[in-house]
Structure 1
C-alpha cells in the first residue's frame, strides 16, 4: 500500500522525503486561478522518481455547470491540465465532480460531463487519466450522493473515467463510510485513489473541512477499513505540514499493514 500526501508545488520530492511519503499530489499552478499549468524544471526528476505522482486540478473547474462562462473555460483548462500532468508522469488528474446551480436540472450537468469527454476525445484524448472526486456539499452536485454518481457513470462510463474517493467528503456529504467501497465499485467499477482525511464537522454537514486522522469526527478505524478494502494508493490532505501529514502517514502505514 503506497501512502503519501498533498504537498506544496514548489518542491514535491523534497516534501515527500520530509513526510516519508511514497505518493505526492500537488497543483501545477494557483488552484484558485484560471491559468495554465506552469512548466516545471523538475519534470524529469518527478518522472524518474520512485514516488508516485498525482496532480489535482484547480478548484475553479466546474465542467458540469450550465454557465457557459465557467463551463467552457473549465473544459479547456481540464484538458490543458491533463497535458501538463503528463509532463510530470502523473498517474492521475483529480477533479471535483462539479454541480449545477439551482434551479437547473442536474441531468444537464451530467450531460455536460459527457460533452467534456467528447471534447477531449475529439482533441486526441486526455493525456492523463481523469479521476473524478466525490464532493461534500451541494444538493445539485454530480458526485456527492451516490444516486447522482450512478447517473453520472451511466453517462460517461464508456469513456473509462477514474474515481477518487475522499473520506471527509463522503462523511460530510452524507454517505456512510461503512461498506462504501463496495457501493462505489458497484457504480464505477473502480477506485483509483483514496483521499484519507478526517472531518472537522459532523456527518451530512455539507462542510468540506479536513482534519488530521483521529482528531475529527470520523472513527479512524473506518478510514483504515476504507483503505484496506479499496487497495488503492492513498493521499492525506490534512493540516499540520510535514509533521501533521507525516504523523497521518505513519499512523496509516502502521494500521493498514
Structure 2
C-alpha cells in the first residue's frame, strides 16, 4: 500500500508556500493553518492567493484529499454562550469559507472545553456552533459547501469534550455524516487511556471506532507519540517511536489494512533530536512493512 504521510507545514510567505514546503520534505499529505492560530483577527484570503495554492497542488503529486486545515487554537466551540463563544462561531464559519476557497476537503476542529457547565451542556453548545456556522456559510450565497468538519478527540484535560470514543459517537450521531467526519490523534488517545502500545490493542481500538462511528468517517489520523504516560491526560506530542506509545503500536497502526486510505499527519516537535524530515524518514524506513 502507498502510505499517505505528512506533517503540519508553515504558510509563512503566503499560503501557497505550504505546498512547496510539503514537497520539499517529501510529504504525500499535509496540514496547515490558514491564519495565525493564536490571533482572532486575520486578513481575508484573496482569489489570487487561493488560485495559486490550487494550481500548485494540482501540479504536485499530492492528492488534494490528503490536505487538511486545522482550526486556530483560540476558539472554544463548547463554551457557555458569551462574546467568546460567538466569536468562535464566526471563526468556524470563516474557516469553512477559506477551506472551500482553497479546495481543501477537511477542516479539523478541537471540541473545546465546557468550562464547568457540564459535558451535556458543552456538547449542546458544540452542536449549535457547528450548525450555526454551516448555516451562516450557506447564507453567504457562495458555492455549496464541500468541506467536512472533522471532530478531533481530546487528551482528556479538565472540562474537555471528546476524550472518549463513545462521547464523540454521540456528537457525531447528532450532527450526521454529511458535513462531518473524524480525526483521531494517537497522543490524545493514549493520554485519555487508550493503550496503543501493542498491535492487539490497536486492533481493538480500530474495531471500536468502526462499530461506533464507522471507519468510513475516519478521514485523518494525527500520528503523534506521547511524552505523557497512559491515561495522564497530558497533551504532549513527541517524536514517533520515542515516546510512551513506542514503535510497536504505531507500526501496527500505520500498517493496518483497514486504514490504508487514511492520511497520517505528524504534529511532532522540531528539535535537536529530529525535525519533520527526520520523522517522515523514520516512519517510512522503520515503521512501514515494505521495509
1:57 corresponds to: 71
Q: Structure 1: where are the runs of 5+ without partners?
A: none
User: 2:194 aligned with 1:175, yes or no?
Assistant: yes
Aligned counterpart in structure 2 of residue 184 of structure 1, from 186, 202, 209 = 209
**What's 1:120 paired with?**
133
Aligned-pair CA distance for 1:157: 2.5
Asked if the contact 1:28/1:37 (under 8 Å) is kept, the reply is no
Distance in 2 (CA, whole Å) between partners of 1:44 and 1:158 is 26
Alignment CA distance shift 1:98-1:38 (3 Å): same
Gaps of 5+ in 2: 139-143
1:23/1:234 contact within 8 Å kept: yes
Deviation at 1:36, TM superposition (A): 4.0
Task: Return the alpha-carbon distance in structure 1 between the equivalents of residues 35 and 177 of structure 2.
Answer: 30
CA distance in 1 between partners of 2:160 and 2:254 (Å) = 24
> What are the equivalent positions in structure 2 for 1:1-257 lying under 5 Å apart?
1-10=3-12, 11-36=17-42, 38-39=44-45, 41=49, 42-48=52-58, 49-51=60-62, 52-102=66-116, 104-123=117-136, 124=138, 126-157=145-176, 159-177=178-196, 178=201, 179-189=204-214, 190-229=217-256, 230-231=259-260, 232-240=262-270, 244-254=275-285, 255-256=287-288, 257=290
Output the CA distance in 2 between the equivalents of 1:47 and 1:14: 9
Corresponding residue for residue 141 of structure 2: none
Alignment length, in residue pairs? 256
* Inter-CA distance 64–120: structure 2 relative to 1 (3 Å threshold): same
Cα RMSD, aligned residues only = 2.2
Distance 1:47 1:122 in 2: 29
Query: How far does the alpha carbon of each residue in 1:70-97 deviate from its partner, in whole angstroms, 9 at most, with x for none?
Result: 2211112111101112222212111112
Is the contact between residue 46 and residue 89 of structure 1 (CA under 8 Å) also seen in structure 2? no
Q: Normalized against structure 2, the TM-score is what?
A: 0.80
CA deviation vs aligned residue, 1:200-235 (integer Å, no higher than 9, x gap)? 111111111111112211122212222333331011
Distance 1:22 1:180, change over 3 A: same
Instruction: Report if aligned partners of 2:19, 2:53 keep a CA contact under 8 Å in 1.
Output: no
Which range moved further: 164-173 or 84-93? 84-93
Higher RCO structure (Cα 8 Å, ≥6 apart): 1
The answer as to whether partners of 1:64 and 1:100 remain within 8 angstroms in 2 is yes
Shift of 1:185: 2.4
Shift of 1:127: 4.5
How far has the Cα of 1:7 moved from its partner? Answer: 1.1
1:95 counterpart SS class: strand
Q: Is the 8 A contact 1:83 1:127 kept in 2?
A: no
Which has more radius of gyration? 2
Say if 1:73 and 1:159 are closer, same or farther in 2 by CA, change over 3 A. Answer: farther
Q: Name which of structure 1's ranges 182-191 and 118-127 shifts more when overlaid on structure 2.
A: 118-127
Which is further off, 39-48 or 186-195?
39-48
